[in-house]
């Protein structure tokens, strides 16, 4: 028998819960316990808050259901979730149950429901909330299948809190954007061109110095930024394609951009934004910083290795080239054959995006000015 609303109310008063909702707008760590409270009020197992976005999923969940939702995502249901698809299309300013969106026959025939029952869940109560960055936030309360479906009384009960959840989401989105804008503006004060990217490379925000680099160095495309230098852009595509998981985020990477008739040699640095993988209200995952190089003194081999992900042997050879040594001289210095050195030089070219030793030397000699 399904628990009644009265049986599942928590000890936290409605006013206390509303206060917590607004606190969660500024303290993201409060969302899991808040989801627990919303779940307990409806006889649920736990809850999840996630973004319905074409990019990588951002989510948080109650402690009780965190493993359940991890398995749910691992099985690929986030990308093909008929429940979210129908719920978003319904455009209902309130919570909806499974039976508001599906018939019993459709539920029994839907593979996603069968898999969720296997994982321990099976019934849902959710709502979709649009936020200013274009994403849709979904609050989903989960119930074990054996408990029975949610009823309209449960949805009506949570509807009383939905306006506060919407306002909290709006505040959180604005807070996230303000943090990003402040970071980028501070870098401009330091003389650095910077911008914020999504995990897939779409430019979300930029400072004036980065805008000045467009379009001679960087082009702002509809789906992602593009580097005018094709080999460097290929390295950018590779870096975006090897983005880490939700926990790891996008790995750091430095991409060289050789000089052109319009711009000096530069390096594009991709820096993971701390905590961005857990920020439900911002698409920003990568801080992009562009530094312009000038001829200076060849850098330490360890710095070269870190910037371009070279092996220890490759970084030493790269530095030797930067100091003006020829391949025979490098081979003699390290006790290697000329063929071995040439093979390693080709690998260095591939990782740094250059094609000639002179280009590599010019690129590396500017690094100490970073």
Enumerate the β-bridge partners of residue 139.
Answer: 49, 127
262-268-272 Cα angle (round to 5): 155
pLDDT at 355 exceeding the cut of 90: no
Query: In whole angstroms, what is the distance from residue 120 CA to residue 38 CA?
Result: 19
70 class by beta-carbon count within 10 Å (0-12 exposed, 13-18 middle, 19+ buried)? middle
Instruction: Please write the tens of the pLDDT for every residue from 180-195.
Output: 899 899 989 888 899 9
> By the 8 A CB rule, do 218 and 290 touch?
yes
pLDDT for the residue 251? 57
Instruction: Please write the tens of the pLDDT for every residue from 121-142.
Output: 999 999 999 887 778 889 999 9
Instruction: Please write the tens of the pLDDT for every residue from 66-102.
Output: 999 999 888 888 778 888 889 888 889 999 999 999 9
pLDDT at 153 exceeding the cut of 50: yes
The rounded percent of the chain whose pLDDT value lies above 70 is: 88
Three-state secondary structure of the chain = CCCCHHHHCCCCCHHHHHHHHHHHCCCHHHHHHHHHHHHHCCCCCEEEEEEECCCCCCEEECHHHHHHHHHHHHCCCCCCCHHHHHHHHHCCCCCEEHHHHCCHHHHHHCHHHHHHHHHCCEEEEEEEEECCCCCEEEEEEEEEHHHCCCCHHHHHHHHCCHHHHHHHHHHHHHHHHHHHHHHHHHHHHCCCEEEEECCCCCEEEECHHHHHCCCCCEEECCCCEEECCHHHHHHHHHHHHCCCCCCCCCCCEEEEECCCCCCCCEEEEEEECCCHHHCCCCCCCEEEEEEECCCCCCCCHHHHHHHHCCCHHHHHHHHHHHCCCCHHHHHHHHCCCHHHHHHHHHHHHHHHCCCCHHHHHHHHHCHHHC
pLDDT for the residue 275? 55
Q: How confident is the model at residue 56 (pLDDT cuts 50, 70, 90)?
A: low
pLDDT at 20 exceeding the cut of 80: yes
Domains and CATH numbers, the chain: 5-173 (3.30.450.80), 190-292 (3.30.450), 293-370 (1.10.10.10)
pLDDT for the residue 257? 85
Taking alpha carbons only, the member of 36, 42, 98 closest to residue 65 is 36
89-94-95 Cα angle (round to 5): 90
Q: Say what the pTM is.
A: 0.70
pLDDT for the residue 243? 56
pLDDT for the residue 370? 39
pLDDT for the residue 3? 42
Residue 123's contacts (CB-CB under 8 Å, 6 or more residues apart) are 97, 98, 142, 143, 144, 145, 147, 148, 149, 150
Backbone angles phi, psi at 143, to 5 degrees: -135, 145
pLDDT at 105 exceeding the cut of 70: yes
As a whole number, mean pLDDT of residues 311-320 equals: 92
pLDDT at 107 exceeding the cut of 60: yes
pLDDT for the residue 278? 52
pLDDT for the residue 185? 92
Residue with tokens 């973004």: 51
Region of residue 209 (left: phi > 0; alpha: psi -120 to 50; beta: else): alpha
Query: In whole angstroms, what is the distance from residue 366 CA to residue 296 CA?
Result: 5
Q: Which has more confidence, 12 or 127?
A: 127
> By the 8 A CB rule, do 133 and 127 touch?
no
Q: Which has more confidence, 30 or 259?
A: 30
> By the 8 A CB rule, do 260 and 292 touch?
no
Q: How much is the mean pLDDT over the chain?
A: 85
pLDDT at 42 exceeding the cut of 60: yes
pLDDT for the residue 12? 72
pLDDT at 177 exceeding the cut of 60: yes
Instruction: Please write the tens of the pLDDT for every residue from 217-269.
Output: 999 988 899 999 898 899 899 888 875 444 444 457 888 888 777 777 788 98
pLDDT for the residue 114? 93
Pair type for strands 122-130 and 225-227: unpaired
């Amino acid at each position: 028998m399904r628990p009644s609303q009265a049986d599942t109310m928590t000890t936290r008063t409605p006013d206390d819960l509303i206060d917590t909702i607004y606190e969660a707008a500024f303290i993201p760590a409060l969302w899991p316990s808040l989801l627990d409270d919303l779940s307990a009020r409806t006889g649920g197992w736990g809850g999840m808050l996630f973004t319905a976005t074409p990019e990588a999923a951002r989510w948080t969940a109650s402690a009780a259901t965190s493993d359940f939702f991890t398995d749910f995502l691992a099985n690929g249901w986030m990308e093909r979730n008929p429940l979210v698809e129908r719920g978003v299309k319904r455009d209902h300013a309130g919570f909806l149950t499974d039976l508001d969106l599906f018939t019993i026959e459709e539920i029994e025939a839907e593979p996603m429901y069968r898999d969720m029952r296997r994982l321990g869940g099976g019934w849902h109560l959710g709502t979709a909330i649009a936020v200013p960055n274009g994403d849709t936030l979904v609050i989903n309360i989960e119930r074990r299948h054996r408990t029975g479906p949610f009823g309209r009384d449960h949805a009506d009960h949570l509807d009383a809190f939905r306006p506060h959840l919407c306002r909290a989401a709006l505040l959180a989105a604005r807070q996230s954007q303000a943090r990003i804008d402040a970071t980028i503006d501070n870098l401009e004060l330091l003389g650095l061109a910077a911008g914020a990217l999504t995990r897939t490379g779409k430019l979300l925000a930029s400072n004036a110095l980065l805008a000045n680099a467009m379009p001679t160095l960087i082009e702002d495309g509809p789906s992602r930024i593009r580097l005018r230098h094709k080999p460097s852009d290929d390295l950018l595509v590779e870096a975006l394609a090897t983005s880490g998981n939700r926990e790891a985020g996008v790995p750091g990477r430095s991409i060289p951009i050789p000089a052109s008739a319009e711009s000096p040699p530069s390096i594009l640095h991709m820096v993971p934004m701390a905590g961005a993988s857990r920020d439900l209200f911002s698409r920003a995952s990568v801080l992009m910083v562009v530094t312009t190089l000038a001829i200076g003194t060849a850098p330490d081999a360890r710095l070269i290795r870190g910037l371009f992900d070279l092996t220890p042997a490759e970084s030493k050879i790269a530095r030797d080239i930067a100091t003006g040594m020829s391949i025979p001289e490098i081979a003699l210095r390290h006790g290697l054959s000329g063929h071995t050195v040439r093979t390693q030089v080709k690998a260095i070219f591939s990782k740094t995006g250059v094609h000639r030793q002179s280009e590599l030397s010019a690129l590396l000699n500017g690094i100490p000015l970073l």
